[in-house]
């Protein structure tokens, strides 16, 4: 089989992919050799790449008009794009813990950076380690800190199961840190005479501050002459509609800077993937994000506070071109980051988890014959926003079932119902037109949330602690520790 290359793919293919993603084709479509997939990727390298705060809407593969993502779009063509994938929550630490454990944040208990992961939940890294893999984490977002060198303070415990857990968190040097991280990732991947590798690579862009380097800055909004520069301060001023920061062109420029930051990330990723496929062509690559990013679609900027689509709709791509997995498949079934762990357990033949995974294995969506199992349409996916340390009642929650999503807003004390297949940006609240459905989903939402807070895994997951000063300094620079605790 020919090795994939990461040059710009034909415009026709991009258009065809965009049409499929926009829902004009059956939920799943592909041509692939029928083969049993369970265990079919055992012993192969698995590279899990997370780009922080990437709303899937901003990708060409999802129909976005700006050329933000030729690499990611091409990666989708070499594998399966799960076009309707969601994170369980809308901020980093809880979402990554859900990705690692297949548990909602209430169940895994890691709700903030001074808490730690439920001790009784197996993590993805532990499963790979137990399966004989070398496990390596390389992380650019400092809030994911976790240290084994402080025995009296276990930190988030996200490092559990990793042979190495390396941080590249300097917020004053985002581009240099990204370079350093990817250089290290190349070393790890290219190492000779090693066991199979599970690598978790967490890249900060397009997360703010939106600081695209020369060559990317001014690519999408070159004539803007206002005060927005992508810094945290200017974003905050736009968010609060400060005088001089409340013009439509200011918000539009913020979006342009985000897109330029994404285009920069995409180019860096392209170089890394080209080298990865050249050295280890039979690897499995999983690309996703921990949450999305809002630009006032529903008043807010950033992420963490809400569970609208702009904050939870994330890319999810599985690509292993030299394997029985399909290529060029676009799957429209509702999927979740909770599904990644059970999928990898099945594909790679890993040990079973101690906890019952809350996600479903995606293997039935990868296999032949083409089917859309009812389980994906019928299950209720629970979404919860970040807890506010000072205002725990300010919790936005939602339940997704099939095409419908019911959101409960703490602020307005009201529900809103959306058909997210027909209305992916949630602009049309149909709760008044479908009152019975809204009531039924409201009851299901309450049941699901109550169950999630009752069925916590482990018994000391919420123990608070103190965050070391050097970690705190970096979190301040990222805007995580603002007046409301940041997001």
The packing angle between helices 340-348 and 92-101, to 10°, is: 30
According to CB under 5 A, which residues from 307 to 346 bind Zn ion?
A: none
Specify whether the CB–CB gap between 193 and 203 falls below 8 A.
no
The residue at minimum Cβ distance from Zn ion is 92
The tokens describing 487, both together, are 């997001």
Residue 207 CB, shortest distance to Zn ion, in Å, is: 6
Residue 265 CB, shortest distance to Zn ion, in Å, is: 13
Which of 188, 311 has the CB closer to Zn ion? 311
Q: Which stretch binds Zn ion (CB under 5 A): 196-204, 232-240, 284-292, 309-317?
A: 284-292
Residue 311 CB, shortest distance to Zn ion, in Å, is: 10
Residue 9 CB, shortest distance to Zn ion, in Å, is: 28
Q: In this structure, is the dihedral angle defined by the CA atoms of residues 166, 100, 290 and 347, taken in order, positive or negative?
A: positive
Alpha carbons 451 and 204: distance in angstroms, whole number: 33
Which of 250, 290 has the CB closer to Zn ion? 290
Residue 426 CB, shortest distance to Zn ion, in Å, is: 21
Which of 86, 92 has the CB closer to Zn ion? 92
Among 73, 177, 290, 339, binds Zn ion (CB under 5 A): 290
Helices and strands of the chain, counted as H and E runs? 14, 17
Which helix (H) or strand (E) element contains residue 344? helix 340-348
Which of 201, 320 has the CB closer to Zn ion? 201
Which helix (H) or strand (E) element contains residue 165? strand 164-167
Q: Which residues pair with 397 in a beta bridge?
A: 384, 408
Residue 52 near Zn ion by CB under 5 A: yes
The tokens describing 368, both together, are 């032949």
Residue 183 CB, shortest distance to Zn ion, in Å, is: 22
Specify whether the CB–CB gap between 293 and 56 falls below 8 A.
no
Which of 294, 320 has the CB closer to Zn ion? 294
Specify whether the CB–CB gap between 376 and 333 falls below 8 A.
yes
Alpha carbons 361 and 344: distance in angstroms, whole number: 8
Which of 290, 309 has the CB closer to Zn ion? 290
Q: Which stretch binds Zn ion (CB under 5 A): 218-226, 288-296, 314-322, 471-479?
A: 288-296
Q: Which stretch binds Zn ion (CB under 5 A): 264-272, 287-295, 405-413, 439-447?
A: 287-295
Which of 53, 475 has the CB closer to Zn ion? 53
- For the residues of 152-214, what is the DSSP string, one character each? T--TT-TTTT-SEEEE---GGGHHHHHHHHHHHHHHHHH-SS---EEEEEEE-TTSSS--PPT
Residue 119 CB, shortest distance to Zn ion, in Å, is: 24
Q: Which of 338, 347, 325 is nearest to 75 (CA)?
A: 325
Residue 314 CB, shortest distance to Zn ion, in Å, is: 10
Size of the site for Zn ion (CB under 5 A): 4
Which of 52, 309 has the CB closer to Zn ion? 52
Q: Which stretch binds Zn ion (CB under 5 A): 47-55, 65-73, 385-393, 445-453?
A: 47-55
The tokens describing 56, both together, are 């899937």
Alpha carbons 35 and 347: distance in angstroms, whole number: 12
The tokens describing 168, both together, are 């590249």
According to CB under 5 A, which residues from 67 to 126 bind Zn ion?
A: 92
The tokens describing 371, both together, are 């089917």
Which of 52, 266 has the CB closer to Zn ion? 52
Residue 58 CB, shortest distance to Zn ion, in Å, is: 15
Alpha carbons 395 and 393: distance in angstroms, whole number: 6
Alpha carbons 445 and 400: distance in angstroms, whole number: 9
Q: Which residues bind Zn ion (CB under 5 A)?
A: 52-53, 92, 290
């Amino acid at each position: 089989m020919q090795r994939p290359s990461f040059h710009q793919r034909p415009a026709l293919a991009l258009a065809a992919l965009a049409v499929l993603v926009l829902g004009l084709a059956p939920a799943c479509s592909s041509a692939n050799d029928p083969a049993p997939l369970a265990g079919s990727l055992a012993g192969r390298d698995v590279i899990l790449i997370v780009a922080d705060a990437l709303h899937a809407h901003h990708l060409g593969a999802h129909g976005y008009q700006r050329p933000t993502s030729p690499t990611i779009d091409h990666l989708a063509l070499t594998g399966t794009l799960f076009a309707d994938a969601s994170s369980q929550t809308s901020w980093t630490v809880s979402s990554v813990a859900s990705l690692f454990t297949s548990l909602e944040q209430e169940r895994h208990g890691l709700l903030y950076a001074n808490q730690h992961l439920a001790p009784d939940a197996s993590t993805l890294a532990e499963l790979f380690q137990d399966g004989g893999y070398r496990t390596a984490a390389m992380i650019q977002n400092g809030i994911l800190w976790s240290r084994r060198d402080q025995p009296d303070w276990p930190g988030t415990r996200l490092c559990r199961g990793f042979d190495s857990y390396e941080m590249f968190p300097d917020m004053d040097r985002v581009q240099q840190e990204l370079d350093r991280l990817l250089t290290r990732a190349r070393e790890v991947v290219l190492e000779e005479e090693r066991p199979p590798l599970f690598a978790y690579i967490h890249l900060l862009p397009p997360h703010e501050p939106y600081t695209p380097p020369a060559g990317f800055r001014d690519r999408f909004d070159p004539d803007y002459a206002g005060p927005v520069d992508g810094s945290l301060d200017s974003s905050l001023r736009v968010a609060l509609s400060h005088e001089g920061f409340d013009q439509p062109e200011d918000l539009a420029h913020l979006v342009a800077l985000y897109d330029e930051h994404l285009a920069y990330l995409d180019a860096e990723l392209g170089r890394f993937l080209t080298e990865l496929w050249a050295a280890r062509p039979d690897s499995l690559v999983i690309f996703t994000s921990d949450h999305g990013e809002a630009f006032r679609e529903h008043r807010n900027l950033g992420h963490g506070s809400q569970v609208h689509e702009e904050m939870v709709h994330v890319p999810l791509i599985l690509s292993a071109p030299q394997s029985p997995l399909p290529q060029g498949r676009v799957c429209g079934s509702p999927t979740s980051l909770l599904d990644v762990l059970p999928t990898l357990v099945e594909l790679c033949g890993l040990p079973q988890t101690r906890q019952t995974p809350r996600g479903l294995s995606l293997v039935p969506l990868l296999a032949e014959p083409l089917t859309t199992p009812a389980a994906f349409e019928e299950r209720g996916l629970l979404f919860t926003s970040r807890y506010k340390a000072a205002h725990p009642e300010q919790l936005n929650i939602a339940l997704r079932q099939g095409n419908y999503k019911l959101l409960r807003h703490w602020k307005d004390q009201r529900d809103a119902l959306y058909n997210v297949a027909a209305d992916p940006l949630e602009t049309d609240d149909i709760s008044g037109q479908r009152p019975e459905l809204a009531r039924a989903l409201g009851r299901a939402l309450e049941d699901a949330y109550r169950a999630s807070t009752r069925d916590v895994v482990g018994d000391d997951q919420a123990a608070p602690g103190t965050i070391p000063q050097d970690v705190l300094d970096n979190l301040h620079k990222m805007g995580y520790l603002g007046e409301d605790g940041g997001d």
